[in-house]
Amino acid sequence: MREYIRGTALLVLGVISAIASWLILQTSIAYASVTSIALAFVAVACGYTIYVTALRLLFRKRITVQLFATVAITASIAAGYYIPAATVVLIILAGTTLEDYVLYRTRGSIEKLVNMSPKTALVRRDGTEVEVAVEDVKLGETVLVKPGDKIPVDGTVISGYSAVNQAAITGESMPAEKAKGDQVFAGTMNGNGALEIKTEKIAEDTTIAHIIHLVEEAEEKRAPIQNIADRFTTYFLPFILILASAVFAATYFLVGLQPAITRTVSILLVACPCALGVAVPVAVVGAIGNASMNGIIIKGGTNIEKVKDVTLVAIDKTGTLTIGEPEVVEIKTLNNHSEDEVIKYAAIAEKFSEHPISKAVTSKATELGLSIPDPTKFKIVPGRGVEAYYRKQQILIGKGMANMAFTEEEDKVISAFESEGKTVLPVILDKQMIGIIAVADTVRKDSGKAVQRLRRLGIKTVMLTGDNMRAAKSIAGQIDVDEFYAELLPEQKVEVIGKMKEGNVVAMVGDGVNDAPALANADVGFAMGAAGSDVAIETADVALLGDDLTKVEYTIRLSRKAFSKMKMNIAFSMAWNALGLTLASIGLLVPILAAVLQEAGCISVIINSALLLLYK
């Protein structure tokens, strides 16, 4: 049974019997002894976990707060203070029950991820559809996913078309369109189309299972600031023992036995390093839980502390700031030809080429609804372009292929495109230029916003790319980064990061595979779009499962918030304890208030940390 459920049940019984006893006492003093026994029974029954824990730990030579409480309650009963004893027990029980509940809920963020994965899958076996447990699906089997169902395995779409909501993994609520050949993940929600999926990973090997395990592990990793809290708690209990004995002795000789007992009991009840013990871990769990619901995995408390200090974010260009696939961005028509004609002839020539630029041209033709006939002859000239024939007409694509002088107008268009960092494809039909296509990698729509938000936090942004200076300059201008470095080899990226680390705390954002060395050399490595790559998820300090660059800024803000909560919690619990102990020592705190004060301190710290789950 969950601790908090048992706690609530006990609490209800305890409160009812305590009130009943008190009412009986009001009717006639004759029942005083009965009432006392009833109240003592409440104190013993409701507090039994405290005593059992205290004794078990005492046998293991651990002196704990439970032992203090046990001594305090026993002393109260022995001295005949039945009402205070029962009340104190009920207060402690109420406090710990509430704490258990909040802590349980704090751990629950991951439950949302877990519940995403369906337990069964519809599999095609021997021509019929059978429903089997997900663990029993075999690799390579075809899984059918009906509209509105959750996808049960990781795999590749083999037929069908649908928009899939991948928020469970990437934190992005916009559905992603999935067609033949696209990768889908277990735990994501299918939209309106039916899909057939070839199973590639099941149960424990799926991306979502990895994510869950990593989040669990991350939540257990200690934040360095915890050491401060630990050092304090180590000296806390011996100090309390000395203080309690000193106060008892002093009060006994100066005032009398009764106040001496009261003060000592109060000291024992108010003292609790508990708030301090949970101050940091609960904040770590809160922050990591919040991040995981947003498609971000922060690998442990250490990284929260590192991320909060970041002063410079270096971002890889291709695939991170940009989509990473070239697209046709502009078409200039010449000699009275139409855009459709230019694209059509270019697409015919490029139809059988696998080059990314050729793909950009053919997909533009498909987008315009043009049918592309096969070329009769076709030849790729590496590094220069393509030569093809269609209905006895010669088509040449590429600047290097044009064996002719350009007119002044053509030259102007070409150099204008090139100065914007675009790749230029002149289309020449039977020795006449019919148009010029400009191809470029396009900037992701959130890149500019992401850079702007980082700037608002006072963080410098630097773009790194292996691309040429012109393309780099054009992209850097569009998204307004503070600095950029172009024409970098992968090892030079590592060097640049090393130089930037002088005087800065550097975060590097990349795809986590090609940029792995640069990510590793930075103070914090962010892998973006990591959902498809286990390597990227494993090696990064922070893995962004989706493609949203603004999550970098969110991670930094969240970490700053989490760290400030940790500091606040530590400072608060130290001050709260100091206040409680002072009041108890000078006799201003009765035992009941001491118990209230102690529980209030603990709960405040826990709730303050748990609120991180709601941070936006």
Partner 1 sequence: MATEKLTLKIAKAGGAPCACGSCGDSFQKTALERALMRVTGISKANFDTIGGKVKIEYDPEKVNQPKITERLEKLGYRIENTGGVT
Largest CA distance in the chain: 119
541 binds partner 1 (CB under 8 A): no
Single-letter amino acid code for the residue at 99: E
Stretch that binds partner 1, among 34-42, 154-162, 230-238, 250-258 (CB under 8 A): 230-238
8-state DSSP, 379: E
Specify the 3-state DSSP secondary structure of 310.
coil
Count of residues interacting with partner 1 (CB under 8 A): 47
Short-list 141, 117, 118, 140, CA closest to 130: 141
Q: How far is the CB of 219 from partner 1 (least distance, A)?
A: 7
212 binds partner 1 (CB under 8 A): yes
Strands 183-184 and 154-160: antiparallel
47 Cβ contact list (under 8 Å, min separation 6): 69, 70, 73, 89, 92, 93
278 binds partner 1 (CB under 8 A): yes
228 binds partner 1 (CB under 8 A): no
Q: How far is the CB of 252 from partner 1 (least distance, A)?
A: 27
Reading the block at residue 136, the tokens are 């029993």
Stretch that binds partner 1, among 16-24, 50-58, 166-174, 355-363 (CB under 8 A): 50-58
C-alpha separations of 510 from 374, 390, 421, 462, 468 in Å: 39, 43, 21, 12, 18
602 binds partner 1 (CB under 8 A): yes
Q: Label residues 384-414 b or e (16+ Cβ within 10 Å = b).
A: ebbbbebeeeebbbbeebbeeebeeebeebb
235 binds partner 1 (CB under 8 A): no
540 binds partner 1 (CB under 8 A): no
**Which residue from 194, 196, 198, 221 is in contact with partner 1, where contact means CB under 8 A?**
221
| CA atoms of 218 and 542, how far apart (whole Å) | 11
Nearer to partner 1, 111 or 411 (CB): 111
Give the contact letters, 92-111, x = binds to partner 1 (CB under 8 A), - = no.
----x--xx--xx--x--xx
91 binds partner 1 (CB under 8 A): no
204 binds partner 1 (CB under 8 A): yes
233 binds partner 1 (CB under 8 A): yes
Q: How far is the CB of 3 from partner 1 (least distance, A)?
A: 5
Other beta carbons within 10 Å of 149? 15
Using the structure block, give the residue that is written with the tokens 């690998």.
Answer: 299
88 binds partner 1 (CB under 8 A): no
**Which residue from 45, 57, 79, 194 is in contact with partner 1, where contact means CB under 8 A?**
57
The answer to whether 316 is a known catalytic residue is yes
Stretch that binds partner 1, among 49-57, 190-198, 477-485, 497-505 (CB under 8 A): 49-57
282 binds partner 1 (CB under 8 A): yes
C-alpha separations of 574 from 275, 401, 467 in Å: 9, 76, 54
**Which residue from 64, 162, 318, 555 is in contact with partner 1, where contact means CB under 8 A?**
64
- Kindly give the residue spans of alpha helices, DSSP state H, lying in 133-273: 167-170, 207-220, 226-254, 257-270
What does the DSSP assignment read for 86-153?
Answer: HHHHHHHHHHHHHHHHHHHHHTTHHHHHHTTS-SEEEEEETTEEEEEEGGGPPTT-EEEE-TTPBP-S
**Which residue from 149, 200, 230, 341 is in contact with partner 1, where contact means CB under 8 A?**
230
Stretch that binds partner 1, among 220-228, 242-250, 254-262, 399-407 (CB under 8 A): 220-228
| CA atoms of 451 and 471, how far apart (whole Å) | 18
| Residues in 283-322 at the binding interface with partner 1, rule: CB under 8 A | 285
| Residues in 371-410 at the binding interface with partner 1, rule: CB under 8 A | none
195 binds partner 1 (CB under 8 A): no
Short-list 242, 267, 265, CA closest to 73: 265
8-state DSSP, 173: -
> Of 316, 467, 541, 547, which is the active-site residue?
316
Nearer to partner 1, 286 or 319 (CB): 286
Specify the 3-state DSSP secondary structure of 586.
coil
Specify the 3-state DSSP secondary structure of 113.
helix
549 binds partner 1 (CB under 8 A): no
Residues that bind partner 1 (CB under 8 A): 3, 50, 53-54, 56-57, 60, 62-66, 96, 99-100, 103-104, 107, 110-111, 114, 135, 203-204, 212-213, 216-217, 219-222, 230, 233, 236-237, 272-274, 276-278, 281-282, 285, 602, 606
Positions marked catalytic: 316
